[in-house]
């Protein structure tokens, strides 16, 4: 299997790994098929994601995609963050091998789950956001 240099870079040197002291939204999703789990924490102020951290218990591609996904949503508005799909994350990483595409879905879902948590806590509705599932293996 061949990984792009960017995937290797984000796998070896993950950005935004860890957790926040007081997150405004926390999302945790997994895929029961491979057993991987990803947690994303967001700090949101005035509709802008000003900080984000992740923890991924999973494969290298899951670590690289969560690293890149957090980079892509950092400093963005919630609406902009909603555009960060798994496809956008894969493009930013110069692609993933086909058998690893599902790992990028975990990153998209974890960010959506964190946004959902934020919206629930603040009585907001985010357009296009649906209730997250804990095991993304079921509906993909």
Residue 96 CB, shortest distance to ligand FES, in Å, is 9
Pick the catalytic residue from 4, 6, 20, 34. 34
Note whether 32 and 137 are within 8 A (CB).
yes
34 is catalytic: yes
Phi, psi of 62 (to 5 degrees): -65, -40
φ/ψ of 84, rounded to 5, equals: -80, 85
What is the nearest approach in angstroms of ligand FES to the Cβ of residue 70?
Answer: 16
Q: Catalytic residue at 59?
A: no
| Distance between CA atoms of residues 107 and 67, nearest Å | 9
Q: Return the residue nearest ligand FES (CB atom).
A: 34
Query: Which residues are at the interface with ligand FES (CB under 6 A)?
Result: 31, 34, 36, 58-59, 61-62, 103, 106
Burial 72-94 (b: 16+ CB within 10 A, else e): bbbebebeebbebbbeebbebbe
Residues taking part in catalysis: 34, 103
């Amino acid at each position: 299997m061949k990984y792009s240099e960017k995937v290797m870079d984000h796998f070896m040197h993950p950005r935004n790994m860890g957790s926040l002291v007081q997150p405004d939204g926390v999302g945790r999703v997994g895929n029961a098929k491979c057993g991987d789990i990803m947690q994303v924490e967001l700090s949101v102020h005035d509709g802008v994601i000003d900080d984000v951290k992740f923890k991924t218990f999973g494969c290298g591609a899951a670590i690289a995609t969560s690293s890149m996904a957090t980079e892509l949503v950092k400093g963005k508005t919630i609406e902009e963050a909603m555009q960060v799909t798994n496809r956008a994350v894969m493009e930013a990483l110069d692609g993933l091998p086909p058998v690893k595409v599902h790992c990028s879905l975990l990153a998209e879902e974890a960010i959506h789950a964190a946004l959902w948590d934020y919206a629930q806590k603040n009585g907001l509705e985010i357009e296009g956001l649906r209730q997250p599932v804990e095991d993304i293996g079921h509906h993909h």
